[in-house]
Structure 1
Amino acid sequence: MTNAAKRHPLIPVVPPEVLHGFYTPQEIVTLFGVVREHGPWRLVLAHHFASAEEYLATSGGRDRKQDARLSDFTAPVFRGYFAREAAVIHDEVRDLYFSRKLLEPVLRLHNARYGMPLNLLFNLGGPSHSFDAGHFDSSTWRGMTVVNTPVWLLSVMSKSGLFDAWEVKSGQVITYFCPSDVGGGFTYWPDGPDLPPQRFAAPFDNTAILSDNSHMYHRREANGPHERRDATELTMTSSLSSHGDDAWVVRDGDREIERFSHRESRSLFHYTALAFDDLADMTRYLDHTDDLTSDKVFEILVADLKTRGIRFSEPSDPMADREFVALLTDTYAMAPRNYPAEAPLDVHAARP
């Protein structure tokens, strides 16, 4: 295959598919029960990023502000994990996590023979802006996964198109709950970030979307009444806990920042599985016979930068060098420019 004919790295294998009424009533009670009983929960950004440079490697990257801070993209949306790889963190969801119900849609997505779950997590937040310019989920590579590799580097690997030979197919079943129709939708770019997006509009009630999110830009839309969307005082240590049977509380330490009812929330349960064409494909992954290492990844990236004629100083610790992260982000920059009129991109007010 010539470079000219090579598939765009961020166009999904097929467009997303909606699956209505995905979970049973008892499964919904179980999932939300874990969220209520096992908090507090951390911000989504606090899980994955240490700087604005790392965040922009995944979301944005074309019009990066020189003075951007991670707080510029913070919204009161919180995350927790039910299970990761073969480890189930909350036993209440063990049978569901390993069920055919979750795995088979992903196998069908890729017409694959074998598969295995990668993780099951949730996001939950109240009324808020969405400062997410569009992002894509982390791909899995043989030897390089979210378990041992920062999200920003996995994102650069995807955008570069240099590591296709090591990529493992994956798919997502993401089930949304958003009672309000004031915002809260899902914007996605199935034809690539340079073309117009599509969207699924709220309200959502147990509405699953089967998708190839590691190859598709997508974003959470702002949700809730406009006058309730400004969540000031959030920090990377802010947390979410339940309050009674119908409320959620955001705190920073012992200080309460805001409170919202369950009907004002927007939540999702996000399942990801790996898919393999045949037994040999799966065995190669499990036996680690053709793995990438971080040293090999940076060797390939550095060689590509030099081929492009980009002048730079090779860092001694490329994984933690913020200038080098920013250079990679700029070099492989791609991001959406167009947003639905019903769901524009929110931007923080300029700092004094």
Structure 2
Amino acid sequence: MTTLERNPMVPAAPPSLIEDFYTPEEIATLFSVIRENGPWRLILAHHFSSTEEYLAISGGKDRKPDAQLSDFVAPVFRGFLANDGVVFYPELHDIYFGRKLLDTAKRLHGAKYGMAHDLLFNLCGPSHSFDAGHFDTAVFRGMGLFNTPIWLLAIMSKCGLFDEWEVKSAQVLTYFSKSDIDGGFTYWPEGPDSDPARFAAPFWNTAFLTDNSRMYHRREGNGARDRRDYPGLDLASELHPGADGEWSIRNGDEEIRRFGDEDMRMLVHYTALLFDDLSEVRRFQDHTDDLDPEKVFGMLIDDMRSRGATVVEPGDPMNDAAFVAQLTDFYSMAPSRYPAEAPLDVR
């Protein structure tokens, strides 16, 4: 492990708040799409094919043999509404491509040009948060989620070696949560080694303009504390809209939890890619200065060796478990301090 000369995980600016971001008509459209197009899957279900697959790599060596998914993760469900210029629900076209979201995002970096990247939502009822702090996946010229595993993109961000290839981005996160029982947003504006800051709930149509690909942040546990456990939660669990503003979490035909809008915590998440001038736009679109895995692994190995690490040249660096573990350890960083009002939930 090494101590970097600087911490690259410091945002361009701390988050700023915008109250009453969406119009009543836009809110009605968003809620209608989310209610009418379920069921929705757990966030983890987008990345793992089974509960066993997730548990095989999580929970640590002391994990109890009868561990369940609910021992490690919160029941937070996600739906993708638009991505990379494609709107999945036509009703959202004017929201996704509207100037309000893009112009708001451009303000963070003072960018002249930008493009809508993704629009998604996360939704949960009362729940723990076992998230110790994370940052959103960055986009680099030539490498992003479309062709690169999340673990490598995370290392590329943390090491600071690939800043000149990173495409600037900004997020507009709009929260809808009526409950004031915990449920805030913790963030580390000076890097994960520094003290955190937080925004406290409740939120309703409250937007944060933020640089989440450069800033550790986390959802705090929320809602009634005696209703935050979800026995029976499985990777196949789904969120269904119910009658009278309720939501139903089900495993097939079996309902394991029901909650109402008064207990809902929802985030509508928008990301824009941003460019200072047309030369940056052309470099991104024409692929004249792209990264590729060979260059990335070469730079990482050179950096580790220059800092005194012994690195055995991997034959297949993308799939060499020992090499991946060495990279993960060498560039390791994570928050260790949390607000007194929002401690980390642990099992």
Query: TM-score, structure 1 length as denominator?
Result: 0.89
Q: Name which of structure 1's ranges 301-310 and 240-249 shifts more when overlaid on structure 2.
A: 301-310
In the TM superposition, 1:289-328 aligns within 5 A as 289-311=288-310, 313-328=312-327
DSSP-derived class of the 2:209 partner:
strand
Does the CA-based 8 Å contact 1:53-1:322 persist in structure 2?
no
How much does 1:303 deviate? 3.0
Shift in CA distance, 70/234, structure 1 to aligned 2, threshold 3 Å: closer
The alignment's C-alpha RMSD in Å is 2.4
For residues 24-46 of structure 1, the C-alpha deviation after alignment (integer angstroms, 9 at most, x for no partner) is 11111111111111112111122
- Counterpart of 1:80 in 2: which secondary structure? strand
CA distance in 1, matches of 2:316, 2:68: 21
C-alpha change, 1:133 and 1:247, in structure 2 (3 Å) is: same
Contact 1:55-1:70 at 8 Å conserved across structures? no
Find the residue that maps to 2:105 and give its secondary structure.
Answer: helix
Distance in 2 (CA, whole Å) between partners of 1:174 and 1:32 is 15
Do the aligned residues in 2 keep the contact of 1:238 with 1:250 (CA within 8 Å)? yes
Q: Deviations over 1:234-258 (max 9, x none)?
A: 2222221111241111122332221
Counterpart in 1 of 2:28? 29
- What is the Cα deviation at residue 6 of structure 1? 6.8
Aligned residue pair count = 338
Return 259-268 or 244-253, whichever deviates more: 244-253
1:184 is matched with 183
- Work out the CA distance in 2 between the residues paired with 1:116 and 1:163: 21
Partner of 2:287: 288
Structure 1 unpaired stretches of 5+: 57-63
Q: Does 1:125 align with 2:124?
A: yes
* Gapped regions of structure 2 (runs ≥ 5): none
For 1:210-225, list aligned pairs within 5 A: 210-225=209-224
Distance 1:245 1:146 in 2: 38
Do residues 84 (structure 1) and 79 (structure 2) align?
no
Whether 1:110 and 2:109 are equivalent positions in the alignment is yes
- 3-state SS of the aligned residue for 1:158? helix
Matched residue of 1:96: which SS? helix
User: What is the alpha-carbon distance in structure 1 between the residues aligned to residue 95 and residue 6 of structure 2?
Assistant: 35
Offset of residue 199 of structure 1: 0.5
1:158 aligns with 2:148: no
Offset, 1:231: 1.4
Distance 1:305 1:27, change over 3 A: same
CA separation in 2, counterparts of 1:70 and 1:38?
28
Check conservation: 2:301, 2:311, Cα contact below 8 A.
Answer: no
* Aligned residues of 1:136 and 1:217 also touching (Cα < 8 A): yes
Alpha-carbon distance in structure 2 between the residues aligned to 1:53 and 1:168:
33
Q: Is the 8 A contact 1:123 1:267 kept in 2?
A: yes
Q: Which one-letter code corresponds to 1:155 in the other structure?
A: A
Report SS of the residue matched to 2:247: strand
1:60: which partner in 2? none
* TM-score w.r.t. length of structure 2: 0.90
